Amino acid sequence: MRIKWVGYFFIGFLAFLLIRTTFIAIVMHREYFTAATEQRTTLIPASTAPRGIIYDRNFFPLTAERAPHTIGYVRGGTGMGLQKIFDNYLKIDDLSFLLTAGLAVETAANGTPIAPTATLFRSASTRKGVHLTLDYRIQEIVQDALSARGDSGGAAVVIDAETGDILAMSSTPVYSPEDIAASLGSSGGEFVNRAIAAYDVGSLFKIVTTSAAVEEGVATPESRYNCVGFTSVSEHVFHCNNRAGHGELTLAEAFSLSCNIPFFEIGTELFGKGKNLYNYASKFGFGERLLDVEMDEAAGNSVRSKSMAEIANTAIGQGDFQATPLQIAAMIGTVVNGGKRVPLRLVSGLIGDDGVTETPYSEPRGEVRAIKPKTAETIKSMMLEAVQSGTGKNAMIEGVDVGGKTASAETGWLGDDGTTMTHGWFGGFFRHKNTMYVCVVLAEDGKTGSGSAVPIFSEIGRGITSM
C-alpha cells in the first residue's frame, strides 16, 4: 500500500513539473528570457522607426558610430553610405518588429561586446538587414588608431588579400551621427569618405613601375644605378628625395630607400619600348571603381602619359596620377596574392524577413591576372626588405613578418602652414593566423609616410595580432 502511494506521489510530481514547464514555456518565456539575458547583455538602442540592421561579418550590429562614412545615415530623405543605399530594403512595416526596443548583445565582464556566433545570434534576435564583410573589432581598432590624428584628414583600409573581403574602412575627420547639423556648415570635409577618394600617391606607384620593369625584362632587383640627387629628362630636371644623392645602389635598395632616380630611368626606358605604365596600372585596378556597391567612390585618375617627361613623373607616382586608399589596398593584395587581383567585397548578402535566410548581394566577379607569380614574389620580397632595412622599418610588428612601402606624395597645393601639402602614405601586409592582411594608411599633409602613416599602420597591426 505504501509503495502504491509513493507511486501516486511520483506521478503527481511529474505531472506538476510538466504543467509548470509548459506554463513557463508558453506564458512566461519572454519574462524569463529577458531576465536571463539582462544578466549578461547590454542593449544597443534601435532606431525609433522600425528598421532593419546592418551587420558585420559575425552578425554583430554595426552602427554609424563605429563606421560613420561606410554605414552612413538617413534623415528627411537625404543621407549617405549604406543606410542611404539600402534605405528601401531596411525599412520595415511588419509591426512584429516593434516588440523589441533594441538588440541584445553579449558583453564581457568589462562591458566589451563579444561577437556572437552566427547561429546563436540569429536564433536570438536577428532582424532583416544587410550583412557586410566588415569586422567590428578590426573596424574599431582602425577607427581608434586613425582618430589619434584628431581632426586631420586621413583614411585607413584593411582587407583580406586572399578573399577580397574589406574588413575595415575608416575616414577622418568624422561627423557626429547624433548631430548631423553640426557638421553641415563645417569646412573640414567631415562627410567625405577619404578611403574611396582619389589622392596623389607618390612612391607607392613604384610597385607598378617595378612590376613592369621585371615583367618586361628592363630591370631586376640586382640592376645597378647611380643616384647623384637629380636627373634630366627631355630638358626637365627631376630630383631624388635625397638631394645629395644615394650614390650607387641596386633597384632593390632604391625601392627600400625610396630613391627616385632608377624609376625615372625605368619609366622612360619602358616608354621608349612602347610599354606604357598605364597598361600595368589598369591591371592592378587603377582607373576603375572596385566596390561591389554604388557608393561615392572615385575611379582615380590614370592618365596616359604622352611624353618622356610626363612618364618620368608618373613612374614615381607624381603628376596627374591619383588613386584611392582602397585601390592601393587592391594593388598590394594583388602582389601578395601571387599577382592575381581578387575582386573586393563589402556587402556579403541580404538577410530576409525571417532573420535567417541570406541572399547573396551580387554575382561573383572574375579574378584578373595582373603580373606573373614570379614577378609578384619579387615585389613581395622587396617590400619585406623595405620594412626590414628601409623607410618602413618602424612598421615592424612583433611576431609577424611585415612588408610594405612608404610614400610622400607632393600635391602642388599649399597647406595651412604655407608649405606644399604632402600626403603621407604607408601600404603593407602581414599574415596573422590564417589571414593575410593588407592595410593602407593615408595621412593628409602628413609630410612623410614614415613619420605620419607608419605609426598608424603599426598600431593597427598590433591591435589585429592581439585579437
Q: What's the confidence (pLDDT) of residue 110? A: 53
Residue 312 to residue 232: CA distance in whole angstroms:
10
Lowest-confidence range among 153-162, 227-236, 412-421, 436-445?
412-421
Residue 275 to residue 269: CA distance in whole angstroms:
9
Domain ranges, residue 232: 140-346+363-465
pLDDT at 31 over 50: no
Give the burial class of 391: count Cβ atoms within 10 A of its Cβ; 0-12 exposed, 13-18 middle, 19 or more buried: buried
**CATH number reported for the structural domain that contains residue 298 in this entry:** 3.40.710.10
The rounded percent of the chain whose pLDDT value lies above 90 is 69
Cell of 105: 548583445
3: in domain: no
pLDDT range class, residue 276, cuts 50, 70, 90: confident
59: in domain: no
**Mean pLDDT, residues 454-459:** 98
pLDDT at 137 over 60: yes
167: in domain: yes
Q: What backbone phi and psi angles, to 5 degrees, belong to 107?
A: -125, 155
2: in domain: no
Burial 282-293 (b: 16+ CB within 10 A, else e): bbbbbbebbbbb
Residue 351 to residue 360: CA distance in whole angstroms:
9
Return the higher-pLDDT residue of 138 and 179: 138
1: in domain: no
Cβ(318)–Cβ(305) under 8 Å? no
**Mean pLDDT, residues 430-446:** 97
105: in domain: no
Q: What's the confidence (pLDDT) of residue 121? A: 40
Q: What's the confidence (pLDDT) of residue 345? A: 97
Please give the biggest Cα pair distance in the chain. Answer: 118
444: in domain: yes
If you average pLDDT over every residue of the chain, what do you get?
Answer: 86
pLDDT range class, residue 323, cuts 50, 70, 90: very high
* Residue 35 Ramachandran class (φ > 0 left, ψ -120 to 50 alpha, else beta): alpha
Give the pTM.
Answer: 0.85
Q: Can you give the length of the chain in residues?
A: 467
Number of domains comprising the chain: 1
Most confident option among 92-106, 291-305, 312-326: 312-326
Lowest-confidence range among 53-62, 175-184, 199-208, 251-260?
175-184
Q: What's the confidence (pLDDT) of residue 242? A: 93
pLDDT at 434 over 80: yes
14: in domain: no
Q: What's the confidence (pLDDT) of residue 21? A: 55
